[in-house]
A and B are shown apart, each in its own frame.
Chain A
Amino acid sequence: MDANAWSMLLEGAWTTLWISAVSIAIGVTAGLAIALIRLARLPVIEQLLVTYISLARATPLVTLTLFIFLTLPTFGINMDRSVAGIMALTLNTTAFNAEIWRAAFQNFSRDQREAALACGMTPTVCFRRIMLPQMVITSLPGLVNEMSFLIKGSPAIAVIGIVDLTRVTNRISAVTYEPLPPILAAAALYMAIIGCLVWTQRIAERKANRLAM
């Protein structure tokens, strides 16, 4: 592989990274929002959210990406490929993150909440100062794990023509007629990215376990 091929590959890696990063950022926040809304158990909204989570968890990313990219224009909404890709990844990862956050809420120690209220904290202050910081620490391993899953699922956006780290290997081999080297190089780059996340997850787990003691 020559320098040109490498620079194309790195460009593909960059596309994968930024699209995933945007989706993760939205997905983690939206997941928290959904978990919070579900605490209120509002009648119709609760059912809608449960259905959304169940559907999003069962729908393959490839299918979801195609669905969004092909369907929205029929409703007169035209969008950039990358926006469609981000939407698909976000819709997918939000559902998983919502479940991670919800578990953190449900497992939160009642005793600690009582201790905070007994000190005269309002529920809002208690949430902000006592619950949320701990929920972030306990959820982090799960959230990082979900980030790895998202990166592993991100090649799905290649199906609508986004040149990500996977699809770029086709581009390179179309010129070099040697498919194997770019695929192996892409595999190595993926392993580097996901390896970093796995490593982060281990550190996060150590911190979370300490909190549980």
Chain B
Amino acid sequence: MSEQVAVSIRRLSKSFDGTEVLRDVDLEVNSGEVVTILGSSGSGKSTLLRCINWLEVPDRGSIHIGGIRIGIDEASGRSMSMRELAKVRARTGMVFQSLNLWPHLSVLHNVTESPIHVLGKSRREAEELAMELLEKVGMAHKKDSYPYTLSGGQKQRVAIARALAMQPQVMLFDEPTSALDPELVGEVLTVIKDLSAEGYTMVIVTHEMDFARAVSDQVVFLDKGIIIERAVPETFFTRPATERVQRFLERQN
């Protein structure tokens, strides 16, 4: 497997209570690439994203992060222990739809918590990195505030810094603006755009079409658990190949 592939998904399937939500999904994300997953609600896009870091355990198929298989130990074929799993998970960073900063920690400590207690970094090193990242998402001035004092957009920007602090090989965004008031969406999307310009590898599930068009290198469309279309954004948004996507795009406008 080449060094350039950040995430490689092979024949991934998953059902909930007999209903198949993902069927034989193949997806490759190269380093530095931004892939956006689109689809109507219930199409399985969040499940796909949550499988990448094993928050959902798929029924079949494999996922490699930077060449390392997640969830299953390659050598023995057994499920990974929680400890081994945590190690691979640490190579991904995830931003959720729900605003779930840890409320008992200040902004700075939300960002330093995992580097110190998972990666074993020194406090000084972790704080230096955290300040750099908080600067990047424009939240450095709030470093000593507690989450309850922040707006939704600010919380989400800190959550991005928290995920970046693990220096992940890929960033996963699960509808990061869906829980926000409309006027707060922009500030979060701007931060994500900046990250893409800096060359971060990202997989994004979103409903913001203009944003997806501007930020993606590759757009993937999921329908009933199957990828029915993948293209560069220009093609996807102007000349969709399937009728299903045409109807989807019409409804968005």
Closest to B99 in A: A111
A130 touches B102 (CB 8 A): yes
A123 within 8 A of B: yes
B83 touches A118 (CB 8 A): no
CA distance A109 to B102 in the complex (A): 10
CA distance A112 to B104 in the complex (A): 11
Give which listed residue, A118, A123, A213, contacts B103 with CB less than 8 A.
Answer: A213
A211 touches B104 (CB 8 A): yes
**Which stretch of B9-17, B89-97, B136-144, B227-235 is in the interface?**
B89-97
B100 touches A111 (CB 8 A): yes
CA distance A114 to B55 in the complex (A): 7
Inter-chain contacts of A112 with B (CB < 8 A): 100, 102
B104 touches A137 (CB 8 A): yes
What 0/1 readout, one digit per residue, does chain A (26-45) give for beta carbons within 8 Å of chain B? 00000000000000000000
What 0/1 readout, one digit per residue, does chain B (95-119) give for beta carbons within 8 Å of chain A? 0101010111000000001100111
B163 within 8 A of A: yes
Which of A117, A118, A212 neighbours the largest number of chain B CB atoms within 10 Å of its CB? A118
CB distance from B224 to the nearest CB of A (A): 25
Which of A109, A115, A123, A125 neighbours the largest number of chain B CB atoms within 10 Å of its CB? A115
CA distance A21 to B159 in the complex (A): 41
Inter-chain contacts of B53 with A (CB < 8 A): 118
A115 touches B113 (CB 8 A): no
Which of B53, B86, B90, B159 neighbours the largest number of chain A CB atoms within 10 Å of its CB? B86
CB distance from A55 to the nearest CB of B (A): 35
A15 within 8 A of B: no
What 0/1 readout, one digit per residue, does chain A (65-97) give for beta carbons within 8 Å of chain B? 000000000000000000000000000000000
What 0/1 readout, one digit per residue, does chain B (211-223) give for beta carbons within 8 Å of chain A? 0000000000000
CA distance A114 to B90 in the complex (A): 13
Give which listed residue, B91, B92, B100, B146, contacts A115 with CB less than 8 A.
Answer: B100
A111 touches B98 (CB 8 A): yes
Give which listed residue, B90, B94, B103, B159, contacts A134 with CB less than 8 A.
Answer: B103
B104 touches A118 (CB 8 A): no
Inter-chain contacts of B163 with A (CB < 8 A): 118-119
CA distance A33 to B224 in the complex (A): 45
Inter-chain contacts of B82 with A (CB < 8 A): 122-123
B87 within 8 A of A: yes
Give which listed residue, A111, A129, A137, A211, contacts B113 with CB less than 8 A.
Answer: A129
Inter-chain contacts of A137 with B (CB < 8 A): 104
A115 touches B117 (CB 8 A): no
B90 touches A119 (CB 8 A): yes
Which B residues, 128 to 159, have Cβ-Cβ distances below 8 Å to chain A?
146, 148, 159
Inter-chain contacts of A121 with B (CB < 8 A): 86, 114, 117-118
CA distance A59 to B118 in the complex (A): 46
Q: What 9 A-B pairs are tightest by C-beta distance, nearest first?
A: A120-B90, A213-B148, A118-B94, A119-B114, A111-B100, A111-B98, A122-B86, A120-B89, A120-B118
User: What 9 additional pairs, Cβ within 8 angstroms, besides A119-B93, A120-B89, A129-B113?
Assistant: A114-B100, A115-B96, A115-B162, A118-B55, A118-B93, A119-B90, A129-B117, A210-B103, A211-B104
